[in-house]
Amino acid sequence: MTRTDGERIAALEERVAHVAEDVRSVKTQVQEMHDLLMQAKGARWFILAMASLAGFLAGIAHKFLPFIGK
């Protein structure tokens, strides 16, 4: 049995409504994450600085630790 154009359009409208609801949900979640990050600007820079320091120290350790055991 083939569906009529009206049935096909109704099914498409239902799918579009569902997608629009999902997009609204994602938009809300992204907005909440953005607001949270904007509240923690100082903490973000602190975390970035600590990650940079840890990377620097790991590089130094990698360079000098092989010679300590010899």
Domain boundaries, given as residue ranges, for the chain? 1-39, 41-70
Cα Rg of the chain (Å, integer): 27
Could you tell me which of 12, 32, 45 has the C-alpha nearest to residue 4? 12
pLDDT tens-place string over residues 9-66: 999 999 999 999 999 999 999 999 888 878 877 787 888 899 999 999 999 988 887 7
> Do 44 and 37 contact (CB within 8 A), yes or no?
yes
Q: Is the pLDDT of residue 68 over 70?
A: no
The whole model's pTM is what? 0.48
Q: What pLDDT score does 26 carry?
A: 94
Residues in CB range of 59: below 8 A, 6 or more apart: none
